């Protein structure tokens, strides 16, 4: 592939545009004029990247199918994100969360380039410049005037073949979690640290439960409701400055500016067979402007995390019973 070819130029310029915008937006963020966690960067920048790629592809291919416009537009996206990871501009968690949106909106940019190409043969560079500048022009407005903070609750349950009192004993203090005790999960795949243990300094309302994760992550859960064998509720107390910078990407850091769990807790009930139904819920605050997209990711991540913890509690609660039956 020759660097002078329209294909190479489109990939190169699309990648360079993405890197430039990544650095430029971070610079503007210091003056409260832009943000990487914004519609302008998350959705409009990939539109421009896709547009750039297809704009130059048309210089060698007179016609492109819609499928080609959609898929070819991904090429500079992949290169841009790969460079971002290699140069430590972004961590694996942010890249994984951004990738679906970047691919979708790059495809929209590619289709837009095709639409404009069909209707405008002269001054073809003018729309390209306008689209490339659009994120820069809109970002200050969004950052200063658009605030779509929202709160939602994620709830999951599991049936445990053990009495309630046995399950309750597993909740407050969680001894060291061995790697094989946690099922493989999406959160592990994208780089979220695994939980290691949790310890209570007392029992009852006001007690503090300290959770520790890998990579030095630790946070407190202050008990707000304590009903033995019924429920244990808590509010999160998270100091983002106490979480190591390399543990979680700064844009999704727990207790940070954009994303934080507020409340959580376990509830226990009994089914007709005498098994325990253990429910885990977490109330999450989302301060991004991403709407449905961030809600989907929040649901995916917390449900995945809930599944890991509930499975741990199930296996630990059922293990003594299995051992006793086997011994008998």
Which of 1-15, 141-155, 172-186, 223-237 is least confident?
1-15
| Distance from C-alpha of 244 to C-alpha of 240, rounded to nearest angstrom | 8
Collapsing DSSP to helix, strand or coil, 328 comes out as coil
Which of 31-40, 69-78, 79-88, 120-129 is least confident?
120-129
pLDDT per residue as tens digits for the range 244-264: 777 777 777 777 778 889 999
| Distance from C-alpha of 293 to C-alpha of 296, rounded to nearest angstrom | 5
Task: Quote the distance between the C-alpha of residue 73 and its chain's center.
Answer: 23
Per-residue confidence band for 4, with pLDDT thresholds at 50, 70 and 90: low
Q: What percent of the chain has pLDDT over 90?
A: 68
pLDDT per residue as tens digits for the range 224-235: 999 999 999 999
How many of the other CB atoms lie within 10 Å of CB of 303?
Answer: 18
Residues with Cβ within 8 Å of residue 174, at least 6 apart in sequence: 195, 197, 198, 199, 312
| Distance from C-alpha of 280 to C-alpha of 265, rounded to nearest angstrom | 6
What is the mean predicted confidence (pLDDT) over 51-72?
Answer: 92
| Token reading at 40 | 């302008």
Residues with Cβ within 8 Å of residue 63, at least 6 apart in sequence: none
Q: Which among 290, 211, 212 is positioned nearest to 252, based on CA atoms?
A: 290
pLDDT per residue as tens digits for the range 297-325: 999 999 999 999 999 999 999 986 544 44
| Distance from C-alpha of 40 to C-alpha of 44, rounded to nearest angstrom | 5
What is the mean predicted confidence (pLDDT) over 34-60?
Answer: 94
| Distance from C-alpha of 181 to C-alpha of 313, rounded to nearest angstrom | 10
| Distance from C-alpha of 10 to C-alpha of 254, rounded to nearest angstrom | 38
pLDDT exceeds 60 at position 328 = no
Residue-wise DSSP of 51-113: HHHHHHHTTT-S---HHHHHHHTTHHHHHHHHHHHHTTSS-HHHHHHHHHHHHHHHHHHHHHH
Residue-wise DSSP of 103-136: HHHHHHHHHHHHHHHHH--SSTHHHHHHHHHHHH
Asked whether 231 and 225 are in contact (CB, 8 A), the reply is: yes
Delineate the domains of the chain, giving CATH numbers in brackets. 6-145 (no CATH), 150-327 (3.30.530.20)
| Distance from C-alpha of 286 to C-alpha of 258, rounded to nearest angstrom | 6
Q: Give the Å distances, CA to CA, from 326 to 41, 98, 162, 302, 321.
A: 58, 49, 15, 35, 9
What is the mean predicted confidence (pLDDT) over 88-106?
Answer: 92
């Amino acid at each position: 592939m020759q660097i002078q070819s329209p294909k190479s130029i489109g990939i190169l310029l699309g990648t360079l545009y993405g890197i430039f915008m990544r650095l430029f937006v971070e610079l503007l963020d210091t003056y409260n004029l832009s943000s990487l966690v914004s519609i302008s960067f998350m959705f409009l920048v990939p539109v421009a990247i896709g547009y750039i790629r297809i704009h130059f592809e048309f210089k060698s291919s007179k016609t492109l199918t819609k499928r080609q416009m959609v898929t070819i537009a991904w090429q500079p996206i992949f290169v841009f994100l790969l460079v971002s990871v290699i140069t430590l501009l972004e961590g694996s968690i942010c890249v994984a969360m951004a990738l679906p949106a970047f691919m979708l909106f790059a495809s929209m940019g590619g289709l837009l380039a095709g639409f404009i190409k069909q209707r405008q043969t002269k001054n073809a560079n003018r729309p390209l410049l306008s689209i490339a500048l659009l994120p820069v022009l809109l970002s200050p407005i969004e950052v200063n005037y658009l605030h779509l903070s929202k709160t939602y609750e994620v709830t999951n349950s599991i049936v445990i073949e053990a009495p309630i009192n046995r399950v309750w004993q597993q909740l407050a203090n969680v001894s060291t979690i061995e790697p094989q005790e946690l099922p493989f999960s999406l959160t592990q795949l994208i780089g979220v640290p695994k939980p290691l243990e949790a310890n209570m300094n007392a029992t009852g309302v006001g007690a503090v439960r300290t959770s520790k994760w890998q990579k030095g992550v630790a946070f407190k859960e202050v008990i707000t409701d304590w009903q033995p064998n019924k429920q244990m509720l808590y509010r999160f107390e998270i100091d983002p400055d106490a979480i190591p910078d390399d543990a979680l990407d700064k844009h999704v850091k727990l207790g940070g500016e954009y994303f934080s769990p507020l409340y959580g807790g376990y509830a226990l009930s009994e089914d007709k067979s005498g098994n325990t139904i253990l429910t885990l819920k977490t109330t999450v605050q989302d301060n991004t402007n991403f709407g449905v997209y961030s809600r989907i990711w929040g649901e995916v991540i917390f449900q995945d995390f809930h599944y890991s913890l509930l499975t741990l509690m199930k296996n630990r609660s059922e293990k003594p019973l299995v051992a006793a039956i086997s011994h008998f």
